[in-house]
Amino acid sequence: MPAQPPLRVIQWATGAVGSYALRSVITRPEFELSGVLVYDPDKVGLDAGALVGLPEVGVACVDDVDRILATEADCVLHMPLPAAYFGGDYAADLQTVCALLASGKNVITTTGFIYPQVYGPGVVERLEAACREGGTSVYGTGINPGFMSDLLPLTLTGLSTRLDQIYVRESSDFLGHPSRQIVMDLIGFGRAPKDYAVAIRPFRSVQRALFSESVQLVASALEVRLDEVEETDEYELTTEEFEITAGVIRPGTVCASRWIFSGLIKGRPFMTVECVYKADAAKVRRWPKPGFAIHIEGRPQMMITIDEVSHGLAGAAAHAVNSIASVCAAPSGIRTLLDLPLATGRGAIRLA
């Protein structure tokens, strides 16, 4: 049987997650890098390999969207920060994703789109129309949401004879996160309380959208109709000064936050996702230590804990990269994790 030609991939954005994805695309033989779109003017013109510490590959980074749209490729790894982070809204990302789909490229995105059905038939029809025009598919993913708060809980429910409630907790340590824009500006660490509430409005908007999609996806898969998804959040202040990779956290400023998203039925939680973010877990004693926990209440009762994910950004990128082949082979249209074969790390195996 003749060998399959490599899948042609475009990397859209090369931030913390996008750089990990780009490195994987370059180093895995089943892929061929077709283009790279960047936002930082200092990256324009750089060779994509050199950008991520690899030998040059002959593909220069560009900031020209029209050029990327005209580039032939099988798939785009769409990994910018969601537009809402910058005061925009879901419509801006929707427009970009639809343009890519209509140009004949499948899209895997980490900006949401995990379950776009929550936004109503108008959004669904725009996506489906773009997919029909390009003969393509769109798939939203990530590590949480996209894996921990949806794929794993749904897998566990396959053991249930009675299912009462699903609870998922993420606790993340941002000590080594490299992006000041995300850690300080968006999440709000290092901000005084009087500035924090205003500063994190874009982050709150993105969080609410992402986790509403995730909770609604799980409910839909289980044929449960939620009345609403409720969101609450709170923060913790530090009493000491300490430094993290993204900057300095001074006394009296925010050093951690806790977010809870609950899918309710008649006022009772059916699925709850708790997210705890800490600037430095060693300095913040309140709330659980880093890791993931999944509780399935019912019969049988089940609990899974993951004590540590040492490179969460790499995990988010890997889940997207490992989905490329399945998304490219899938029928045209909106794809969710329910529609695709399980994405494994088969192509990432490296044996000495």
Task: Write down the pTM of the prediction.
Answer: 0.93
Rounded Cα gap, residues 22 and 162, in angstroms: 43
| 190 Cα distance to chain centroid | 24
Q: What per-residue confidence (pLDDT) applies to 40? A: 95
The pLDDT of residue 181: 87
Q: Is residue 2 part of a domain?
A: no
Contact predicate 274/166, CB 8 Å: no
Summarised one tens digit per residue, pLDDT across range 219-240 is: 999 999 999 999 999 999 999 9
CB 140 within 8 A of CB 116: yes
223: left (phi over 0), alpha (psi -120 to 50) or beta: left
The residue type of 160 is: S
Which amino acid appears at position 173 of this protein?
Answer: D
Between residues 160 and 3, the one the model is more confident about: 160
Q: Look at residue 318 and tell me if it is in a domain.
A: yes
Quick one: average pLDDT of 269-294? 96
Q: Is residue 128 part of a domain?
A: yes
pLDDT, tens digit, 9 for 90 and up, residues 57-75: 999 999 999 999 999 999 9
Q: Check pLDDT > 80 for residue 264.
A: yes
d(CA 254, CA 222): 38
pLDDT at 302 over 70: yes
In degrees and rounded to multiples of 5, residue 11 shows phi and psi of -100, 120
- Rounded (5°) CA angle 303-170-242: 135
pLDDT for the residue numbered 349: 64
pLDDT of residue 36: 98
The residue among 302, 301, 221 whose CA lies nearest residue 263 is 221
Number of domains observed in the structure of the chain: 2
Q: Render the burial of 218-234: b for 16+ CB within 10 Å, e for the rest.
A: bbbbeeeebeebbeebe
Q: Are 231 and 320 part of one and the same domain?
A: no
Q: From the CB of residue 337, how many other CB atoms can be counted at a distance below 10 Å?
A: 23
Say what the pLDDT of residue 313 is: 83
**Res 84: pLDDT:** 75
Structural domain range at position 87: 7-142+314-348
Q: Is residue 1 a part of any domain in this protein?
A: no
Instruction: Examine residue 250 and state whether it is found in any structural domain, yes or no.
Output: yes
For the chain, the C-alpha Rg in angstroms (whole number) is 20
214 and 273 in a common domain:
yes
Q: Are residues 304 and 155 in the same domain?
A: yes
Whether residues 277 and 324 share a domain: the answer is no
Instruction: Looking at the structure, tell me whether residues 40 and 138 fall in a common domain.
Output: yes
CATH number for the domain that contains residue 332: 3.40.50.720
Are 190 and 83 in the same domain? no
Give the separation between CA 224 and CA 337, rounded to whole angstroms.
17
Is position 253 within any domain? yes
296 in the same domain as 161: yes
339 & 282 share domain: no
Q: Write the pLDDT tens digit of every residue in 190-216.
A: 999 999 999 999 889 889 999 999 999
Q: Check residue 89 and give its pLDDT.
A: 73
Could you report the per-residue pLDDT of 162-185, keeping only the tens digit for each? 999 999 999 999 999 988 988 999
pLDDT at 158: 94
How far apart, in whole angstroms, are the C-alpha atoms of residue 274 and residue 292? 10
158 plus 270 within the same structural domain = yes
Give the mean model confidence (pLDDT) for residues 321-338.
95
With CA atoms as reference, report the closest residue to 217 among 296, 298, 145, 137: 145
Do 119 and 89 fall into the same domain? yes
The model's confidence at residue 309, banded by pLDDT at 50, 70 and 90, is confident
Strand 268-278 to strand 254-265: parallel, antiparallel, or no bridges (unpaired)? antiparallel
The length of the chain, given as a count of residues: 352
Query: 121 and 218: one domain?
Result: no
For residue 352, is pLDDT > 60? no
Residue 342 in any domain: the answer is: yes
Note whether 186 and 203 are within 8 A (CB). yes
User: Residue 255 domain-assigned?
Assistant: yes
Residue 132 has pLDDT above 70, yes or no: yes
Residues 20 and 133 in one domain: yes
The letter for the amino acid at 5 is P
Q: What is the pLDDT of residue 64?
A: 97
pLDDT, mean over the chain: 93
Weakest-pLDDT range from 39-53, 253-267, 299-313, 316-330: 299-313
